[in-house]
Amino acid sequence: MTREAKPYYLESLEDRYPRWAVRSVYTGVNSFISIFLMAIIAYNTHAPFVFPSLGPTAFLLFYTPLAAASAPHNTLVGHLIGLLAGWFSLAVTGLLAVPPDLEKIDWQRILACAIALGLTCGLMPIFQAAHPPTGATTLIVSLGLIRTPEHLLIMMVAVFVIVLQGFVINRAAGLPYPMWRKRAQNAPPDD
């Protein structure tokens, strides 16, 4: 079936209604659904399945689903880089066991934040995994807000779940959301 035969496809709706209105509703409703589901998981497991950088990740997945930053590779690898860089910064500054105190930032914490963000921003281009919300993820970890290995693993599971939601929703809307990476324009198919 072609896109014209499926009136609920996003592009078909954008042909009939103002694009800004369709994108606004699509982005808002799907971001609501995604974070609502993540919050229900967090509520039932008492684990950090919701954290601040998932908000901008949801926005990217639904507002610019075909952008490279929204592709599963960039989202998953980007957040993994941020988590690991944040954890590394805590380890090298001796803060792994120190609880967060956002009102009293000392030199160790300043250094941990700087190391984490510098590593994250430096490693994302190397791994071709630019995903801006990762900057928030690495700061969440380097500030000590989420820092145990168990919770870091849960954060990655949460990122995987929201990427899976984005994949299902965007494909259901008729968008050619990538399986892993955004393909360059006019690139030959992978064999």
For 25-84, how does the pLDDT look when each residue is reduced to its tens digit (9 = 90+)? 999 999 999 999 999 999 999 999 999 999 999 999 999 999 999 999 999 999 999 999
* 5-37 CB burial, b ≥16 within 10 A, e <16: eeeebbebbeeeeeeeebbeebbeebbeebbee
pLDDT score for 1: 44
- Cβ atoms of 58 and 46 within 8 Å: the answer is no
> Within a 10 A sphere around the Cβ of 75, how many other Cβ atoms?
23
Tokens, residue 126: 């190397």
- Does residue 91 have a pLDDT over 60? yes
- Label residue 131 by pLDDT band (50, 70, 90): very high
Picking from 86, 73, 64, 53, the residue whose alpha carbon sits closest to that of residue 158 is 53
